[in-house]
A and B are shown apart, each in its own frame.
Chain A
Amino acid sequence: MNKHTPDLKAEKIQGGVHASVRHDSAHKHVAGTAVYIDDITEPAGTLHAGLGLSTVAHGLLKTVDLSAVRAAPGVVDVLTYEDIPGVNDISPSGMHDDPVLAEGKVQFHGQPIFCVIAETREEARRAARLAKIEYEELPANIDIWDLDQTTHPQVFPPLTLKRGDAAAALESAPRRVKGRMRLGGQDHFYLEGQVSLAVPGEDDEVLVHCSTQGPSETQHMIAHALGVPSNAVAVEVRRMGGGFGGKETQANQCAALAAIAAKKLNRAVKVRLDRDEDMVATGKRHDFAIDYDVGFDDEGRILGIDYTFALRAGFSADLSGPVGDRALFHCDNAYFFPHVHAKSALLHTHTVSNTAFRGFGGPQGMVGAERVIDEVAFAVGKDPLDIRKLNFYDAMGVEGTRNLTPYHQKVEDCIIQRIVAELEESADYAGRRKAIQEFNGNSRFIKRGLALTPVKFGISFTKTESNQAGALVHVYTDGSVHMNHGGTEMGQGLHLKVAQVVAEEFQIDLDRVKITATTTAKVPNTSPTAASSGADLNGMAAQDAARQIKDRLTDFAAEKYQIPRDQVVFLPNRVRIGNAEISFNDLVKQAYMARVQLSAAGFYKTPKIHWDRSKGRGHAFYYYAYGAACSEVSVDTLTGEYIVERTDILHDTGRSLNKIIDIGQIEGGFIQGMGWLTTEELWWDGKGRLRTHAPSTYKIPLASDRPKIFNVNLTDWSEAYEPTVHRSKAVGEPPLPLGLAVLHALSDAVASVADHTICPRLDAPATPERVLMAIERLKAQKKG
């Protein structure tokens, strides 16, 4: 692996862009040698943490007696908020509402109150249970379903999107339906839980190894909590064992605690949550209550719509504002609404503060859109797919009037028509629709259902300043390349894709490019790896860095060999200079001897985008990614149990940087979305205790939950409308809402018990219980 002799006659480099190269760490994954934070060789004397969590949902801390904790075997120290040298806050929204450790009051069951530091993790965990805490319990709001959205406190100012006159359109519409949907949240269930290892340095310095998607933000939060400048703190992460948005802001608490303890005690300190603590004490995907009022014509064309997307924010703002925003940005999914009014309600509750999760509110918005489509379809008595097609935005190239989003951005790149048409055909939608009708007519208890749902997903951070990235590329004198950038690896193959871009730029084989850990000390002020933007942003930044070096090499060669610049051409592993060819390595060596700088910092910022939240207007997204899924299910109408018989997916990643990596993202994203909408149920009891806090009670999909037949394809004809990195498109989040096809297939099966005359209004997650209860409701309505 390490020995490499470049092929100087190759027609193509190994592992350039658009090549289906396997994950760079695959070998280490299967051998068990890939190093995660908890696997890093610990410095001698490393201490371990255990958290003391609130046992009430809302209350004042009357007395916190930690004497027994301090006296427990192995305990070195116990941190409370008083031990925080800087500011006791890690709020990413600037709302100053996210304490590292509770101060005076607790606001959710499971909130960290203190942190035990002991010689071993087991001692720390045992000691943490010995605290004697007295609370003055206060009333707690747990669920949002019955909260008054107009008066209940919100954690962040809500957003309103408005185009046209929705009220008037609803009044004058020939048909109108109002409804309400309950949509559950989701735990990230990254297999590697939250973990940080802090190693104290001299003076005010500290190095923190942290499983974080946002090393820069983690760095800034640690500095804030320590009361030191950011330059004293370095945060490093080679890889995460999954992130999915759950390590965008949620990594900061463990990181801050580890750093504070390490500096206080001058020993390395590791904070690793166990699964239950992780699920109880860190935020999740927001659950929503979606109110809709839709007006449409007799054909099923939507004329006007009014929405409220109320979400359970939890006790603090965290990212609830922007998550609510993105829900509104996707309340149209792929459909044009002539008149629209949509608002968010970011409701404060005494539950853990909800956060980013793959899709970041977008999927929740799309669930609202697809529910509305179902309502319209049942009202006019048509197949929901017909209603979908009737309401799509104008296709790319059509100069029509149906292309403005609720946030006044023109949709210029819409390819959903072609995707849906191709999928409809390849999945034999019409034939299977007919077959299912026949099957259901002959089957008393087992009913089948079918649905084909589209996805249009906006790509860019809506926080404009986040749409920037940096990279650092070094070429060493032997021609090997060291690549670093601000993105983080959580399994999505980002490092590999960026390395492919760099290899392509230099025209050298991929294995000449070394992938290195993300660290704030090499590339500063980076955005979290989120919003599907990792490859788009960091790929461009790394390309920029590589181009700078390449430019210098070109200048050098042109000057040295006295030829025009355009006669210096980078070929696979070699460079043609006039009529001669020399190896890339030799050119590099010569350039070094001539004192040419072989290192560069690259930078990229996304063009075109702007967004004015106060007006609800802007070019919020650089482009859109599209896809569609068709799923068929079988439902047992006696128990509500079901299986997914088949799923076909056609998805757009533009000119894919790496098809096999992208297909992996689509397969995994679909299953994750399916899990969210089917078996993954978060259940709080009356006291605000999350009772589904481990895999024994919280059920993510298994191998045996996959569709029995699972066909995933990329559109081989699409390319990004905008000049993205090699015309590829982002792929992290857009596939997740493909899972909607399963929810709607279940809904279709449920509808069959009332001859498809009643909209099932199937809420999510559609557990067997919800499916059965919907069946019972429809049967009763049909009779009544």
Chain B
Amino acid sequence: MAAPEIRSELRFILNGQDVSLRAVAPDQTLLDWLRLSKLLKGSKEGCAEGDCGACTVLVGRLTPSGGLVYEGVNACIRFLGSLDGCHVVTVEHVAARDGKLHPVQQAMVDYHGSQCGFCTPGFVMSLYALWMQVPNPSDQQIETALQGNLCRCTGYEPILRAARAISSYGGTEKDPLLLERDAMIARLKALKDGARVEIGDGKSRFVVPANLDDFAAVLEASPTATVVAGSTDVGLWVTKHMRDISPVVFIAGLDELKSISVEGDTVTIGAGVTYTEGLKTLANHVPALGPLIERIGGQQVRNMGTIGGNIANGSPIGDTPPALIALDAKLTLRKGTERRTIRLEDYFIAYGKQDRQPGEFVEAVHVPAPAVGEKFAVYKVTKRRDEDITASLGAFRLALSADGTVTGITIAYGGMAATPKRAFAVEQALLGQKWTEATVEAAMEKYAEDYAPLTDMRATAEYRALVAKNLLLRFYTETISGAASAQVSRYEAA
């Protein structure tokens, strides 16, 4: 395969304007660029780590099928280099050109959705993104869309009132972004020239590969490069730790890594599939994964972060690995043109150490559905219900024989050890036993053999140990026939 053309210019669209940049640092954040270079100061910095949403902007991008989707993202941890071929929309571009407020904005004004106003542009952008996709959202949809937006003044109630009312101020059919959609698709398509983008040199360099093969080649040639997909983790290396991440390879735009396919009982998702993109298929395939994914980060983070990244970075508190381990998912790793597929469980070797060679990258994850009759559940326990990092997370897959004997059990936890880890002793205590509360209670005592959790700011070791046990009891309770859910829920069961 011939090497692609190389372009040393980043091209995207900001609001209505074409942007082309030749000098861009690999760690240049979108927010700093907007505020400091473009003097667009409507987007605010509240935390610089993707948790407060004050910097929320929309990024429109072409989908592999040729459509255009606008999503809210955190400009504070989004790197400029990842925006090639995208349409960035800031709060300054929301009102009509004559200054008339957009329905989203007018509703926020009329329902007193702002007090100090600092978080407000971010709320406007998140609600705008929601309204474009769901003009008449339920409270649950609104709250889910706002998980990544903190407000310290209003207590949110007036913002909810505003969100419910937006459509009474005007329909999406008159929305400028939607009216201009076809023209924008054409403009964005014109930016897609199939070239590899390479900017900078020496200590400050980044590459946006032209395609998947190109990525493999680039990474093989620069095995120490920082691979950035959603930047929801690497973004913080820069904003919080001021780490030098050059050279960087931005892979968020690689369509081939965004594939989602179902074959038999297995879903294969490309490593570049975001939580948002993967949600529907995964939730269809394994219903318990839906609510789990909706509790990862806020909407902005789910729009950027990838399931592949959640695995690749090897964190002991990543939310998807325990669930995927319990499902016995597999991982395809690729280096150059070589591929290998391993069990996900085997990928995690020790804290900070994974089974990944220099120049190798995660290409795809294969997620089998539980077999017919198997029961599967995953429970995440956090200090705050939404947009929080796991204190303890347990995933359970159970097979019973006709007489109620445990014929298969896989249990994996996050937050309990230096890696996502199986509870082998507990599994052993259950396997071959009758699935009764007495067995479960006996097995609960075995957790001490599997885990010696730590105390940190999220939870004490004692709490983690106790919750780990109790989650098994919850799982048991929910598997016995006719049992009501044994957990608190904000929403009526669907």
- Measured CB to CB, the residues of A under 8 A from B are 22-23, 25-36, 38-39, 41, 122, 125-126, 129, 188-193, 239-244, 274-276, 444-446, 490-493, 634-636, 638-643, 660-661, 664, 667-672, 679, 681, 683, 685, 691-692, 694-697, 699-706, 708, 710, 712, 767-769, 772-773, 776
Contact = CB atoms under 8 A, between A and B. Distances in A.
B156 A192 contact: no
Contacts of A667: 154-155, 157-158
Contacts of A639: 379, 381, 467, 470-471, 474, 487
Contacts of A490: 116
A691 B456 contact: yes
A126 B239 CA distance: 11
B381 A664 contact: no
Contact of A244 (B152, B158, B391): B152
B117 A29 contact: yes
A667 to B, nearest CB: 4
A534 to B, nearest CB: 13
Interface size class of chain B, counting residues whose CB lies under 8 Å from the partner chain: 35 or more
A669 B160 CA distance: 17
A2 to B, nearest CB: 12
B3 interface: no
14 contacts: A22-B110, A126-B242, A191-B150, A191-B151, A241-B118, A274-B239, A491-B153, A640-B467, A664-B115, A668-B152, A691-B457, A703-B159, A704-B144, A772-B467
Contacts of B48: 274-275
B93 to A, nearest CB: 10
A672 B104 CA distance: 25
A239 B388 contact: no
B460 A769 contact: yes
Contacts of B52: 191, 275, 695
Given A639-B471, A672-B155, A704-B490, A31 B456 contact: no
A705 B382 CA distance: 13
Given A30-B108, A699-B383, A704 B158 contact: no
Interface majority SS (helix, strand, loop, mixed), chain B: loop
B46 interface: yes
A708 B117 contact: no
A275 B147 CA distance: 19
A39 B101 CA distance: 21
A274 B471 CA distance: 38
A772 B466 contact: yes
Nearest to B52: A695
B283 interface: no
Interface string B467-485: 1001101100100000000
Contact of A706 (B157, B242, B471): B157
Interface string B449-461: 0000000111110
Contacts of A32: 41-43, 90-92, 121, 124
Nearest to A34: B117
A23 B460 contact: no
B350 interface: no
Contacts of B104: 30
A643 B488 CA distance: 7
Given A126-B242, A191-B44, 15 more contacts: A26-B117, A29-B114, A31-B91, A35-B41, A191-B118, A241-B44, A242-B118, A643-B385, A664-B155, A691-B457, A695-B49, A705-B386, A706-B155, A706-B156, A772-B467
Contacts of A192: 44, 46, 116, 118
B488 A695 contact: no
B108 A26 contact: yes
Ordered nearest first, which 7 A-B pairs have the shortest CB separation? A32-B42, A491-B116, A241-B118, A29-B117, A671-B155, A491-B115, A695-B51
Given A25-B117, A275-B47, A664-B158, A681 B108 contact: no
Contacts of B116: 190-192, 239-243, 490-491
A239 B117 contact: yes
Interface in B50-72: 51-52, 54
Contacts of B389: 696-697
Given A242-B153, A769-B460, A772-B466, A446 B47 contact: no
Contact of A768 (B91, B383, B456): B383
Contacts of A445: 474, 477, 486-487
B384 interface: yes
A667 B112 CA distance: 12
Contacts of A700: 150, 152
A31 B471 contact: no
B202 to A, nearest CB: 15
Contacts of B387: 702
A565 B460 CA distance: 74
A322 B218 CA distance: 63
A679 to B, nearest CB: 4
B105 interface: yes
Contacts of A23: 112, 114-115, 117
Interface in B419-472: 456-460, 462-463, 466-467, 470-471
A28 B105 CA distance: 10
A669 B385 CA distance: 20
A213 to B, nearest CB: 12
A668 B115 contact: yes
Contacts of B456: 683, 691
Nearest to A445: B486
B150 A189 contact: yes
B109 interface: yes
A704 B152 contact: no
B44 A26 contact: no
A699 B388 contact: yes
Contact of B117 (A28, A244, A642, A685): A28
B34 to A, nearest CB: 11
A325 to B, nearest CB: 26
B80 interface: no
A640 B156 CA distance: 24
B488 A702 contact: no
B55 to A, nearest CB: 11
Nearest to A712: B157
Interface string B81-92: 000000000111
B184 interface: no
A109 to B, nearest CB: 14
A696 B50 CA distance: 8
A755 to B, nearest CB: 21
Interface in B391-405: 391
A290 to B, nearest CB: 22
Contacts of A239: 116-117
| Residue with the highest number of chain A CB atoms closer than 10 Å, among B32, B39, B118, B466 | B118
A274 B236 CA distance: 13
B240 interface: yes
A664 B162 CA distance: 13
| Residue with the highest number of chain B CB atoms closer than 10 Å, among A29, A38, A188, A672 | A29
Contacts of A122: 32
B54 to A, nearest CB: 6
B271 interface: no
Contacts of A685: 457
Interface string B372-385: 00000001011111
Contacts of A704: 143-144, 146-147, 385-386, 490
A28 B124 CA distance: 12
B149 interface: yes
Interface string B210-251: 000000000000000000000000000001101000000000
A696 B49 CA distance: 8
A29 B142 CA distance: 20
A695 B122 CA distance: 16
Given A23-B112, A700-B150, A776-B466, A694 B49 contact: yes
A687 to B, nearest CB: 13
Given A240-B116, A668-B115, A672-B152, A694 B384 contact: no
A125 B467 contact: no
Nearest to A446: B488
Contacts of A768: 381-383
